[in-house]
Structure 1
Amino acid sequence: MDHSAIFGPLVSAGYSVRLHSFSALDCYMGLAPLPYTLAETNADIPVLARLLEGLRFPGADIADGAVDMDGHSWYFRCIDPEEIRHADSNAPSYTLLSFRRDWNTKRFQDPLDLYPLLRALRRELPRNIRENLPQNNDSPRPDPGNRKEYSLPVQEYPSWEAGLNPGVDLFRALMDGALILARYGPEQGGPSPAKMARLIETLAPGFPPKPEAQRLLLTGILVSPNPGRGLELLKSAGFIREFWPELAALDDVDHSKEFHPEGNVWKHTLETFRYRKTIVHNQSAYDLRLSLGLLLHDVGKPLSASSGSHRFNGHAELGAEAARKFLERLEFKSSLISDIYYLVKNHMLPAALPRLPLIRTQEVLESPLFPTLLELYRCDESSSFKGLDGYYESSAAYQSYLRNRRNPYRSADGKKMGKRSIRRY
């Protein structure tokens, strides 16, 4: 991500800009950046308003100011010029999040000497991502004169969660912890979400997160390598039942063990994330649209009726409406909401595609989102006992449709056309 259009005016005017928290960590770890950037500066709000067009104010619990441009958002914390050298200002929920990177000099700053922990976290990333990370020779610079103890002395970190700040509020610690787990935690092992939830429950609750904060959290988790780990922490702590009840209901609906060995609908949903492909081969970037589709594709099952062997009747249509209301509540963009509505409503269609007449499927097939719908179907099928035969048959049917559409001598369903009906381009 090129930050020059946003950070450049501040630096040119003599102000400092540092990436902090997850944005700084992603730079060092070599992970694809989040769809938003977290920064801090010694410029105050009037200066930001003067230098940055379109500055908005999301609320002090999120940031002092924010700018949105080309589908990306930048969130600024304004730091007192006398305190900008110190990690103690705006103390993070976990010491891991004290890591920073100066945008102008491109140097990392590690005031709490976290380098050994960062190296350990890199080793825990999924293998396909870890083996393709760039070699990072810009080692962070520890500052021994500026250390702060939280729950354990800095020198004794056995793991990142040991650096929990007891003065932070529960929601902040929970949300940051969930994103750390999803982004940097191992797929197996590591800190237990249930154990972490019990530790975090001892903190003061603070104010409930606003819709924008919830949207940033969910977005960050879903584009990370291990979203299931972060979501499990939120569920264990009761966050999902309180704020995202549509997802909590998935844990109350059992699946057929014949085709779903992973268990209930909640566990099945988390299992689907394991089969996502990265947007760029062997990189850490995941498609938010697909990930939201996977998260919400069965959200209609708790709302649907079952009769005999026919379970979850109409759950795709019910789920599309529930997904739309859920995403509207978290203030996602309307265009993205429309895309997720399409994916959830039609997620059952690929399974029947080879057997349905074109008149019933052509509108869905013509959507530019259909390849994403096929990917959702592949992840859905991969997480069950069904195997991928149906996915390959549906892919072949889609390829046949595309081939016939390009053939001026055949109709879209493959029938030969008479001379008067031949398409001319």
Structure 2
Amino acid sequence: MVLKPLEEEPREYRYLGISALEGLWGFPAATLATLETEATLPELARIFPEITFPGLPFWDVLVRHEGRELLIRSADSDGSHHAPRHPLFHFAWEPGTRRFSDPAGLYPLLKEARRRSLPEPLPLDDLEDPLEAALLCARFPFAPARSPEPWQEDPSLPAAFHRLIISQIITGPRAWAGLEILRRSGYLAAVLPELDQMNRTEHSKEGHPEGNVWRHTVETFRYQKNPDLLVSLALLFHDSGKPLARPREGRRFDGHAELGARVAASALKRLGFSSGLIDQATWLIRYHMIPGALESLPDHRRDPLMASPLFPQLLELYRCDLSSSFRGPEGYYQACTRYRRFLKKNRHRKTSAVPGGGRP
């Protein structure tokens, strides 16, 4: 988590809040980091070539660096304007010295939380802000001691604010906990009404023990092995077309995958996700039912999909989707077997195409 551009200047910096806690826990560096530095805004603009000023509360700049995004509070920040409310967001970690700054004296609480397993979160007092609660509970073994306050919609917040909040929550090891806080607080209804509709769309109890479409979606996040943003976005929206779908020829949610791809494309564009990521996520959503039908599809429909570099992510999406239902994992194993046969056949074809039948 050492940032060479700031080390080489040199400019002092330290990670704050979520990123500092990840340092304490020894978690891998997330795709988004939050930090403060003694560098000024002009210095940051010189140090980092990919810098934007997104107009976010508390944070001054957003930097893209080596595949990560950095939210930075600079030496030019004006006091504590829009500072996070919960003291855990002021916990700091200096990667160079590996020292922690604990102004609220929360280290004993953190030690207790580290001893607990993820299914047994530690109740946390003063976790009243719904977004702060969702962020902490999605990434660490915490739970609000009381229900957070309702979300107060703020039209002045830019799309980047919501994009970063959603991204941090859905890539957390306890994403389901953060997502449910977002729903209960009214945040989803205000910011992502497409997802809030899923809580009013019932599933068949025979196939989905978890209940409605939203509960099923939240449950799928429990089965992610290594959460990444692409698969997490696909999971979040994979059934978002069901509230719009209509029954047809025995299918209760006919065409919901295609409808969900359109819903996701519109919502993710509104939140400011990149066009490339949107294209990949909507591809996964559109074809998320395909792994279960590989055996029955003709080669001309099946092979182009399996040839896609996204097919391993499609299998992961299918595994999480299947694991949260009554159907069991057999369909996933069958899809993996069929995919392995496809890869083996393709390798054989490439080898046979080489003169002499050997390796090129």
> How far apart in 1 are the matches of 2:313 and 2:190?
31
Q: Secondary structure at the match of 1:196?
A: coil
Q: 1:74 aligns with which of 59, 70, 75?
A: 70
Moved more, 297-306 or 91-100: 91-100
Name 1:269's counterpart in structure 2. 217
Matched, 1:288 2:241: no
> How far apart in 1 are the matches of 2:265 and 2:69?
22
Q: 1:227 aligns with which of 149, 171, 175?
A: 175
> 1:42, 1:81 within 8 Å by CA — same for their partners in 2?
no
Name 2:41's counterpart in structure 1. 45
> 1:124, 1:184 within 8 Å by CA — same for their partners in 2?
no
> 2:247, 2:253 within 8 Å by CA — same for their partners in 1?
yes
Q: 1:65 aligns with which of 61, 64, 74?
A: 61
Question: How many angstroms does 1:408 deviate by?
Answer: 3.5
> 1:9, 1:51 within 8 Å by CA — same for their partners in 2?
no
Q: 1:343 aligns with which of 265, 277, 284?
A: 284
- Per-residue CA deviation, residues 262-282 of structure 1 (Å, 9 max, x unaligned), is 10000000111111112xxxx
Distance change in 2, residues 1:184/1:393 (3 Å): same
> 1:125, 1:184 within 8 Å by CA — same for their partners in 2?
no
> How far apart in 2 are the matches of 1:334 and 1:178?
26
> 2:56, 2:157 within 8 Å by CA — same for their partners in 1?
no
Q: 2:124 aligns with which of 153, 160, 176?
A: 160
Question: How many angstroms does 1:423 deviate by?
Answer: 11
> 1:272, 1:382 within 8 Å by CA — same for their partners in 2?
yes
Q: 2:310 aligns with which of 349, 369, 381?
A: 369
What's the TM-score once normalised by structure 2's chain length? 0.90
Q: Secondary structure at the match of 1:224?
A: coil
> How far apart in 1 are the matches of 2:309 and 2:276?
13
> How far apart in 2 are the matches of 1:204 and 1:301?
28
Name 1:334's counterpart in structure 2. 275
Question: How many angstroms does 1:79 deviate by?
Answer: 4.1
Pairs within 5 Å for 1:109-188: 109-126=101-118, 159-162=123-126, 173-185=129-141
Name 1:196's counterpart in structure 2. 147
- Per-residue CA deviation, residues 4-45 of structure 1 (Å, 9 max, x unaligned), is 12x2244x2xx4312111111110122222211111123332
Distance change in 2, residues 1:318/1:9 (3 Å): same
> How far apart in 2 are the matches of 1:82 and 1:383?
47
> 1:96, 1:163 within 8 Å by CA — same for their partners in 2?
no
Question: How many angstroms does 1:60 deviate by?
Answer: 4.3
> 2:294, 2:335 within 8 Å by CA — same for their partners in 1?
yes
Name 1:145's counterpart in structure 2. none
> How far apart in 2 are the matches of 1:81 and 1:9?
22
> How far apart in 2 are the matches of 1:382 and 1:350?
14
Question: How many angstroms does 1:385 deviate by?
Answer: 0.7
Q: Secondary structure at the match of 1:263?
A: coil
> 1:299, 1:319 within 8 Å by CA — same for their partners in 2?
yes
Question: How many angstroms does 1:254 deviate by?
Answer: 0.6
Question: How many angstroms does 1:359 deviate by?
Answer: 0.9
Q: Secondary structure at the match of 1:408?
A: helix
What's the TM-score once normalised by structure 1's chain length? 0.77
CA-based RMSD: 2.9
Question: How many angstroms does 1:106 deviate by?
Answer: 2.5
Distance change in 2, residues 1:394/1:91 (3 Å): closer
> How far apart in 2 are the matches of 1:324 and 1:274?
24
Name 1:135's counterpart in structure 2. none
Between structure 1 and structure 2, the one with the greater Rg is 1
Name 1:154's counterpart in structure 2. none
Q: 2:246 aligns with which of 290, 301, 305?
A: 305
AA at the equivalent of 1:48: L
Distance change in 2, residues 1:204/1:330 (3 Å): closer
> 2:2, 2:96 within 8 Å by CA — same for their partners in 1?
no
- Per-residue CA deviation, residues 135-178 of structure 1 (Å, 9 max, x unaligned), is xxxxxxxxxxxxxxxxxxxxxxx9533265xxxxxxxx321211
Pairs within 5 Å for 1:241-256: 241-256=189-204
> 1:320, 1:345 within 8 Å by CA — same for their partners in 2?
yes
Question: How many angstroms does 1:409 deviate by?
Answer: 10
> How far apart in 1 are the matches of 2:144 and 2:229?
26
Q: 2:343 aligns with which of 380, 397, 402?
A: 402
AA at the equivalent of 2:41: I
| Number of residues of Structure 1 aligned to a counterpart in Structure 2 | 357
- Per-residue CA deviation, residues 183-237 of structure 1 (Å, 9 max, x unaligned), is 1135xxx436xx423xx23x97655532111111111111111111111111111
- Per-residue CA deviation, residues 238-268 of structure 1 (Å, 9 max, x unaligned), is 1101100111011111111111011000000
Question: How many angstroms does 1:3 deviate by?
Answer: 1.3
Question: How many angstroms does 1:304 deviate by?
Answer: 1.0
> How far apart in 2 are the matches of 1:344 and 1:55?
31
Among all aligned residue pairs of Structure 1 and Structure 2, give the percentage whose two residues are the same amino acid: 38
Q: Secondary structure at the match of 1:162?
A: coil
> 1:56, 1:66 within 8 Å by CA — same for their partners in 2?
yes
Structure 2: where are the runs of 5+ without partners? none
> How far apart in 1 are the matches of 2:93 and 2:192?
34
Question: How many angstroms does 1:397 deviate by?
Answer: 1.3
Name 1:354's counterpart in structure 2. 295
Structure 1: where are the runs of 5+ without partners? 131-157, 165-172, 279-285, 412-416
